[in-house]
Structures are given as C-alpha cells and as structure tokens.
Amino acid sequence: MPNLSENKIVVITRKTRLDDVITKFNTLDQAKFYVENLGVDFSDYLIEDQIYKRAISDVERELQKIGRLQLLERAYVPNFIFGKNDIVVVVGQDGLVANTFKYLDNQPIIAINPDPTRWEGVLLPFQTHDAGAVVKDLFKAKRNLKEITLAKIETNNGHVMHAVNDLFIGPRSHTSARYVIEMGDKKEQQSSSGIIISTGLGSTGWLKSILAGASGIMHQEQGEIKRPKNYQGFDWSANYLCYSVREPFPNKTTGTDLIFGSITKSSQMTVTSMMAQDGIIFSDGMESDFLEFNAGTKATVSVADKKSYLVV
C-alpha cells in the first residue's frame, strides 16, 4: 500500500515504571524483590508495562501503513530536530504530551491514551484504535486543532525556557527565596517560597491548589472552613498568564503587594535574584531540568510567541 504522505510520523513514547526499576536494579527479579519488600503489588508494574507496550505496538502497526514512521523515546525529545511538516503522535500520559509541546514549533500533537482505565487523560482525546483514522484526517486537514498558550522565561545570561503548564521561580529546597519583582512601573523586594506562573492549561493544576488553600484560609469562620468556590481555571488559549507568590513574608525590607496577578503581551514580569546560591527556575514540574537563578540573574517572564496545538 503506498504512503498517503511523505511527511514523517514521529511517535513519542516513554519508559514504564517497570523499565525504570529494572534499569535501577539490573534484573527483573531484583526489581521485583525491591518493590515487594516495600509492600507494593509488583503485578501492577507488569500489567501497566504490558498494556503500554501493546498500545505502542498497535499504534506502530497502524501508522506504518500510512507513512514513514519513527519511534522516539522521551529522553531524546529535547535534542531531536522535528521537521516542519512532521506529524507528532504521543502515546502516554498527560505529562508526556505537555513535555513534548515545549520542543515543537507549531507541529500539532495527536495524543493517544494507552490505558483509559488507568489514566484520566485531560490531554488524551484518542485511544489506540483511533490512531490511523486521525492521522489520515490530519493529512487531509479534516481535524480541528485546540490552541494552547505557552509561557516563556528568558534570563540575562542567555537561557530560554518554555512552559506548557507552569513555571517556578524560587529556592531549590524548603528555604526562603529573596528577589526583586517588577510588574510595569511597580517594583518590590520580596521574601517567599517562590513564584508560580501558570498558563491556561496549567491553571487547574498547581495554581488551583494554591488558590484553594488561600481561599480556605480566608473563609475560615469560628473554626469552620467554608468550601472554596469550584475554581475552573481559564481558557487554554488565553493570551495571558497568572502568577501567584507562595507564602510571601512581610518585614522591614520585603513587601507583599505584588503577590497575584496577570502577565500579558504588554505587561511582562521581571524577577531579579538576590540569592547567593540555590535559586532555580524550572517548568512543568521537571525540577531536574532547571536553570540557575542566583544573585544577579534577571529573568523576564512573558506570554510565548509560539503556540501549541492539540488535535481534537
């Protein structure tokens, strides 16, 4: 059967928990011994691994009939050069989809939920049996795309990082961060446990938990805490970001005025580190992949020019 298109189809995969523990302990038996000694059901590792790899095999078999196919493991995504017309198919959890978005340049993602009984899949509208039909539809421009706004942070020493869900600026561990925050013509020195900057997509994640906690405290009455209103976040394509300062501490030199608000195309945020060490910036919960944010480093946070697109 001839290919429907010369465009390459790149299928993004990830290692399973079973793969990770075998890598750590060298053999399946040693991995099983370790997991079961922690009182965890090892059979769940085996079932998850079996279902996921069967899903990859099913998707691969279907897509090989359509076009040129390349499998790419998550670890290699940051250094992979995607072609302008590549079709990107992600088989995995929401986090894998979000992580892949950061390294694309307008290429849409077809996101496949490999195990709907296990993963809710907010970013996973399709199942394995949909893969072939959806790719064919995309080749023929018969599929709608959901636009997703990204956040961007750029430092004065030349580093750039994008975020699909959120950015964190603050201390490496449970200590106080010291910095100067600027929004427009307002400027304030702060001491806090860090700043969260959320996109619309991430607004029902980390940001939601912060707002729920703050709302619960503010509505406390006579020992009873009122239920906070059901915060639904804001639209994935909204052209603004929302920032919230965690645990801001007021004293003679630090303030708490610039602790919550919006970042738009016309109102960027600038944060300048006052920490001698252990200041970091990371995105989308990937704390191991961080930028240093120590004394003298200035970070500018803005709405990214590039967008992400999810096939729906």
Tens of pLDDT along 252-309? 999 999 999 999 999 999 999 999 999 999 999 888 889 999 999 999 999 999 999 9
The pLDDT assigned to 222 comes to 47
Task: Give me the mean pLDDT over the 68-97 stretch.
Answer: 94
pLDDT digits (tens, 9 = 90+) for 136-167: 999 888 999 999 999 999 999 999 999 999 99
What percentage of the chain has pLDDT greater than the value 70?
A: 94
The yes-or-no verdict on residue 209 having pLDDT over 90 is no
The stretch 168-184 carries a mean pLDDT of 93
E-strand spans in the chain? 9-13, 69-73, 87-91, 109-113, 126-127, 145-155, 160-163, 166-171, 177-183, 186-192, 195-198, 220-221, 224-225, 240-245, 260-264, 269-273, 279-283, 291-292, 298-311
What is the CATH topology of the domain spanning 151-304? Tumour Suppressor Smad4 (2.60.200)
Which residue spans of the chain are classified as CATH 3.40.50? 9-143
For residue 127, count CB atoms less than 10 angstroms from its CB and return exposed for 0-12, middle for 13-18, buried for 19 or more: middle
Split at pLDDT 50, 70, 90, the class of 229 is: low
Contact between 55 and 115 (Cβ < 8 Å) = yes
Q: Which residues of 108-119 are buried (b: 16+ CB within 10 A; e: fewer)?
A: bbbbbbbbeeee
pLDDT greater than 50 at residue 219: yes
Query: CATH for 9-143?
Result: 3.40.50
With cut-offs at 50, 70 and 90, classify the pLDDT of residue 215. Answer: confident
pLDDT score for 51: 97
Greater confidence, 282 or 7? 282
Residue ranges of the chain that CATH labels 2.60.200.30: 151-304
Question: What pLDDT does 1 receive?
Answer: 47
- Top-confidence residue, 5 or 34: 34
